[in-house]
Every structure is written in structure tokens, then in C-alpha cells.
């Protein structure tokens, strides 16, 4: 299996994970962390998030529709209060 690949992002900043990787990890949820000089993308099981809190799930919270980034920021700020 390929372990490294170069992917070009779309004009909206999206990247595509190779199909073999998606099948290997059998999830559509990923934890993303920005490190000093790289991005870390880790497949996760949302039933086992442990220390993380899902603040927005489009299927659960909004009938499958996304929300504006400003609305998400507002939700996060309300959690911090």
C-alpha cells in the first residue's frame, strides 16, 4: 500500500484521501492537527472520542447540512463560557 502521496488542494482547500486509505481505516471522521511544520490527519471512531468533544455534526445537529464557519465559532465560544 502507498504510504505517501502528493495531493493538490482544490480552490476551496480540500484534499482527497486515496481510496485505499479510506477503505483501510473504514471511517469518514478524521482528527486534524496543525503542527509546527506539518498537518497530522488521524482516522477516528466518533463513538470513542475520549477527551474530544464533537461540537457540530451535520447529520446529528442540522439535518445533514453544513453551517457557516462564523456559526461554528459562536458554538465553540459558548462552550468555553
Report domain extents, the chain.
Answer: 1-46, 51-81
The band of 73, judged by pLDDT with boundaries at 50, 70 and 90, is confident
Is residue 48 scored above 70 in pLDDT? Answer: no
Give me the mean pLDDT over the 5-34 stretch. 88
What is the rounded distance in angstroms from the CA atom of residue 45 to the CA atom of residue 29?
7
Dihedral (Cα; 17, 39, 5, 8), 10-degree rounding: 70
Q: Is 45 helix (H, G, I), strand (E, B) or coil?
A: coil
Give me the mean pLDDT over the 65-74 stretch. 82
pTM: 0.51
What is the rounded distance in angstroms from the CA atom of residue 44 to the CA atom of residue 36?
22
Amino acid at each position: 500500500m502507498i504510504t505517501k502521496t502528493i495531493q493538490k488542494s482544490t480552490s476551496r482547500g480540500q484534499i482527497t484521501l486515496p481510496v485505499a486509505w479510506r477503505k483501510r481505516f473504514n471511517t469518514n471522521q478524521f482528527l486534524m492537527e496543525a503542527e509546527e511544520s506539518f498537518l497530522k490527519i488521524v482516522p477516528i471512531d466518533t463513538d470513542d472520542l475520549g477527551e474530544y468533544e464533537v461540537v457540530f455534526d451535520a447529520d446529528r445537529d442540522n439535518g445533514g447540512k453544513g453551517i457557516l464557519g462564523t456559526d461554528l465559532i459562536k458554538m465553540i465560544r459558548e462552550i468555553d463560557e
